[in-house]
Amino acid sequence: MNKVVTAIKSNLKQYSMMLALVFIVIMFQILTGGKLLFPMNVYNIINQNAYIVILAIGMLLCILGSGSIDLSVGSVVGLVGACAGIFIMKWKWDPYLSILMCMGVGILVGVWQGFWIAYVKIPAFIVTLAGMLVFRGATLIILQGGKAIPVFPAEYKQFFVGSTPEFIGVWEVFGMKLYLTCLLLGILIAAVYCVAQLISNQSKKRKGYEYASKGALITRMVIISAIVIWFFMLLAQYKGIPAVLMVLGVIAAVYTFITNKTVLGRHIYAMGGNANAARLSGVNTERLMFFSYVNMGLLAGIAGMVFAARLDSATPMAGDGFELDAIGACFIGGASAYGGIGTVSGTVIGALIMGILNNGMNIIGMDSNLQRLVKGLVLLAAVAFDVMSQGHVALPSFLRFGKNKPEKVASG
Amino acid sequence: MALTILRMENITKLFPGVKALDSVNIDVTEGEIHAIVGENGAGKSTLMNVLSGIYPFGSYTGDVFYHDELCSFKTIKDSERRGIAIIHQELALVPHLSIAENMYLGNERDTAGVINWDLTNQQAAKYMKVVGLKENPRTLIKDIGMGKQQLVEIAKALTKDVKLLILDEPTSSLNESDVKKLLDLLIEFKKEHGITSILISHKLNEIEYCADRITIIRDGKSIETLDKNVDEISEPRIIKGMVGREMTNRFPERQRVTGGGVAFEVKNWTVYHPLYGDKKVVDDVSLTIRHGEVVGVAGLIGAGRTELAMSVFGKSYGQKITGTILIDGEPVRLSNISQAIQHGLAYVTEDRKGNGLVTSNSIKHNVTLSRMEFVSKRGIIDQDLEGIRAREQKEQLDIKALSVEQHVENLSGGNQQKVLLGKWIFAKPDILLLDEPTRGVDVGAKYEIYQIINQLSAEGKAVLMISSELPELLGMCDRIYVMNESKLIAEFSREEVSQEAIMGCILQASKGGEISA
């Protein structure tokens, strides 16, 4: 029993964010009279938030590695969108080539900022504050004083907006349309998940590690599979799988893998946890810092392309303020402002919480000024929770309550 | 009959796993200069922190009487209010503020929060005159030398109407003429103003010069108090008090491996301070370590021992580093830490929380961090293998934890130190540079760490052990080098070494010249 309590406590943060997400979904589902989870609205939520999730994943690596943030990503989104407009519409480049070149622009931006931050050692806050101005200025110059370039070709947009093509067909049942590819993909994902769980549990059992009991395993598999299939069911009722969900899925999977399974990821966590110790263990902390900002540039570039495709035009003020949403998503998702703590899945959940808050408040027609206020308070509450749960806190005596630090296990 | 200004009775202070002070008794007479001597880590600074309220009332046991009144200082402000001022070894001045601003920091001359600068500067000038500091009160701290900064600290204490002045190693960064000025100032305070001083120092000639009484502290216990007028005060007498402790079975027996080849050699190693480019922190040091040998480096804090080890370890400290390193007779270039690790070096830091461990990560992640290539292929970690390797270290070193998944921050000091050792043993080094490997660890864990060190040397590894605890060096090492003020000043073999010899040699070297009375 004691073990269970410890396990719950140690995972409290991740689960608490999950619970917060469920709570917000249910709350707005009731407040909006069920409109929140209309298939069309779910589809919209994904399209509205994909670029924020992509930015937030890049931001997470910066925060993990050093607790530093990148203020320039909004401007980079604008810049890369403008480049996409110029490359494709003005210079008539091939759309596929243009996509690659846009990623290149993002990487160059990252190289520029990473150089100043990692090697010249100017605080990231200052470098990216400067970047915020520089890249917005560059966007306006490229767009010749801020004229938007409208309408992208279908080859470009196919990756970023609309739905993936329907391979199998649409099935009409009980008066509703079901996109079968989407539904099958959902079932496939659930099946792959279950098989992976079974294999991993078997291997744990074989190697003599702690493994889940049959009941717990089945419960977990049923719940997760049900959620996955229900979610794809919703999407299947509208237009099938949003194209950008595929991009997002790949990015989230790749970065989950990097942070969990690779030496690179481990080094980032170690650097964020204690930069001196990491350096004295032979970790090249400068190169790692440089990498996190180059990576941020690349992901900001991808987000820029997604956003331009969604607007279907390259506009001068595209991305304005996105940095705050991305940073907020990381912290709501449980990243530590001190570095070294945070997960990709937490960040995705954080971005979803922000996105559903936005969407839900819009549907119920809340005053937009009040919306900002609510978002600000949610962010503050999330970070306050983080700080307090880590005991970094010196509350005035009248606010102090029982400490929940884990006990020392053994002395000597 | 002089009055007793301060009496500390049965002061005991515990840190997790360590007894830093063990029933210390001390009394200080009004208007005297009272010296406190003891080895590094004997508990001198801890005692002064208890007195000044840095360790608040309730975090220690025992009673502090000041002017015959029981004190319960909760913060340093409480003790300052009573006229107790402490000046630390590392000066606590803000470099970009002026002398006057520093002197009145936290004690501003203000009316309703608005500072009266004319009054501040005028009063600062008055106290600066008392301490003989000829500077403009508006001069910035960063523009004056260390000696003058020390005087600013004292002047700052005077502004608070100090009755009892505590100086923690005040002369460690001063040159000779500044030292004499400072000591004369203390004598003058005593005579002219009746200010009592407590002087913590290693430099016995300075103590002989100015102290009226001397209290010796050893291993957290007050050993004895010598009186200038009663006892004969001489260096050998003081040294005997400082080191004379019994040693029985504190160190495990070790099979001495003799005749191993030279594993590691450093020649003419010179390192400059990373910020102050003209200050040598390691000065032309040459040393050798054989396979299977444990070589000690003794010296006071600030002698350059850590700087030596870190600069050798892939130039992780200092600048303008010159000299040669030979491993098994072959010259090698170790220009970064990763190269040093590849060449079989390991540096186990003295500061395990600051430089050694990622405490928010698990034991497992800490153990494998410096050689991830042992548990990964093409950059992808084999997490099962990693778990196996980490458990091996946990079992070998008997790290007491629920599992290797446990976060290091939740372990005791001794177990954290073992994780740090395990991390470097995992890296399969041939040469280990151990910097204070038993700092902040209780006696039991110390013994286990000694056993680990013996095991390593039995495997033919070369071990360099830096320690401020002389008995530890004597108990563990085959040879001991002595460092002082950036230089290697002596080398002792196991047979000829004694604590008295080492202390005497350090004190001889740091004396520099006799202070003329």
Q: Does the ipTM surpass 0.90? A: no
Cα→Cα distances B180→B92, B127, B185, B301, B504, Å: 22, 20, 8, 22, 22
Nearest Cα to Cα of residue A6 among A404, A392, A378, A325: A404
Bridge-based pairing of strands B294-298 and B462-466 is: parallel
Tell me the pLDDT band of A408, cut-offs 50, 70 and 90.
very low
Stretch among A171-175, A244-248, B468-472 having the lowest mean pLDDT: A171-175
Model pLDDT, residue A410? 38
> Measured between alpha carbons, how far is A270 from A262 in angstroms, rounded to an integer?
12
Which residue in chain B has the smallest CA separation from A204? Answer: B384
Model pLDDT, residue A11? 55
pLDDT digits (tens, 9 = 90+) for B78-126: 888 888 988 887 777 888 889 999 999 888 888 888 888 999 999 999 9
Tell me the pLDDT band of B350, cut-offs 50, 70 and 90.
confident
Tell me the pLDDT band of B254, cut-offs 50, 70 and 90.
confident
Average pLDDT over residues A197-221: 81
Contact B381 A269 (CB under 8 A): no
Tell me the pLDDT band of A14, cut-offs 50, 70 and 90.
low
The CATH classification number of B4-243 equals: 3.40.50.300
Tell me the pLDDT band of A112, cut-offs 50, 70 and 90.
very high
Model pLDDT, residue B144? 84
Model pLDDT, residue A386? 66
Model pLDDT, residue B41? 65
What is the torsional sign of CA B6, B11, B14, B18?
positive
Helix axis angle, A243-261 to A344-363, nearest 10°? 150
Model pLDDT, residue A158? 84
* pLDDT averaged over every residue in chain A: 86
Tell me the pLDDT band of B516, cut-offs 50, 70 and 90.
very low
Does the pLDDT of residue A125 top 90, yes or no? yes
Tell me the pLDDT band of A138, cut-offs 50, 70 and 90.
very high
A391: phi then psi, degrees, rounded to nearest 5: 70, 15
pLDDT digits (tens, 9 = 90+) for A234-277: 888 888 889 899 999 999 999 999 999 999 999 999 999 999 99
Chain B residue numbers touching A273 (CB-CB < 8 A): 358-361
Residues 6+ apart with CB under 8 A from A408: B16, B410, B411, B412
Model pLDDT, residue B22? 87
Q: 């009248």: which residue's tokens?
A: A398
Alpha-helical runs (H) found in B189-257: 204-210, 235-243
> Measured between alpha carbons, how far is B408 from B393 in angstroms, rounded to an integer?
14
Does the pLDDT of residue B15 top 90, yes or no? no
What is the three-class DSSP state of A149? Answer: strand
Model pLDDT, residue B69? 87
The CATH classification number of B262-344+429-511 equals: 3.40.50.300
Q: 């043993």: which residue's tokens?
A: B425
Does the pLDDT of residue A409 top 50, yes or no? no
Which residue in chain A has the smallest CA separation from B317? Answer: A280
Does the pLDDT of residue B391 top 60, yes or no? yes
Does the pLDDT of residue A6 top 70, yes or no? no
Q: Point out the residue among B337, B357, B411 whose CB comes nearest to the CB of A282.
A: B337
Model pLDDT, residue B244? 66
Per the DSSP assignment, residues forming a β-bridge with B377 are B380
Model pLDDT, residue A396? 57
Does the pLDDT of residue A128 top 90, yes or no? yes
Cβ–Cβ under 8 Å, residues A306 and A54:
yes
Contact B381 A262 (CB under 8 A): yes
> Measured between alpha carbons, how far is B379 from A250 in angstroms, rounded to an integer?
20
Q: Which structure tokens are listed for A227?
A: 């959620």
Model pLDDT, residue A177? 80
Q: What is the CA radius of gyration of chain A?
A: 23
Does the pLDDT of residue A192 top 60, yes or no? yes
Query: Any idea where the domains of chain B sit in the sequence?
Result: 4-243, 262-344+429-511, 358-428
DSSP per residue, B117-132? HHHHHHHHHHHHHHTT
Does the pLDDT of residue A80 top 90, yes or no? yes
Contact B411 A284 (CB under 8 A): no
Contact B372 A270 (CB under 8 A): no
Tell me the pLDDT band of B16, cut-offs 50, 70 and 90.
low
pLDDT digits (tens, 9 = 90+) for A337-391: 888 989 999 999 999 999 999 999 999 999 989 998 998 898 888 777 767 766 5
pLDDT digits (tens, 9 = 90+) for B425-444: 999 999 999 998 987 776 67
Average pLDDT over residues A304-318: 92
Average pLDDT over residues B385-399: 90
* pLDDT averaged over every residue in chain B: 86
Nearest Cα to Cα of residue A117 among A72, A53, A78, A55: A72
Average pLDDT over residues B469-474: 84
Average pLDDT over residues B466-488: 88
Contact A264 B370 (CB under 8 A): no
Does the pLDDT of residue A13 top 70, yes or no? no
Chain B residue numbers touching A279 (CB-CB < 8 A): 316, 337
pLDDT digits (tens, 9 = 90+) for B213-248: 999 888 788 888 888 888 777 777 777 777 765 445
Chain B residue numbers touching A264 (CB-CB < 8 A): 379
Q: Point out the residue among A261, A269, A411 whose CB comes nearest to the CB of B361.
A: A269
Average pLDDT over residues A94-104: 93
Share of chain B above pLDDT 90, in %: 31
Tell me the pLDDT band of A395, cut-offs 50, 70 and 90.
low
Q: Point out the residue among A263, A276, A283 whose CB comes nearest to the CB of B381.
A: A263
Does the pLDDT of residue A398 top 60, yes or no? no
Q: Point out the residue among A274, A341, A409 whose CB comes nearest to the CB of B357.
A: A274
What is the three-class DSSP state of B476? Answer: helix
Distance from CA of A353 to the nearest CA of B (A): 26
Distance from CA of B172 to the nearest CA of A (A): 27
What is the three-class DSSP state of B90? Answer: coil
The answer to whether A410 faces chain B, any CB pair under 8 Å, is yes
Average pLDDT over residues A123-136: 96
Stretch among A396-410, B181-195, B366-380, B427-441 having the lowest mean pLDDT: A396-410
Model pLDDT, residue B247? 44
Do the domains at B4-243 and B262-344+429-511 have one common CATH topology?
A: yes
Tell me how crowded residue B175 is: count the other CB atoms within 10 A of its CB. Answer: 12
Does the pLDDT of residue A143 top 60, yes or no? yes
Contact A280 B337 (CB under 8 A): yes
> Measured between alpha carbons, how far is B316 from B482 in angstroms, rounded to an integer?
22
Which residue in chain A has the smallest CA separation from B15? Answer: A411
* Top-ranked range on mean pLDDT: pick from A53-62, A184-193, B182-191: A53-62
Share of chain B above pLDDT 70, in %: 93
Chain A residue numbers touching B402 (CB-CB < 8 A): 409
Between B166 and A169, the higher pLDDT residue: B166
> Measured between alpha carbons, how far is B228 from B208 in angstroms, rounded to an integer?
9
Contact B414 A412 (CB under 8 A): yes
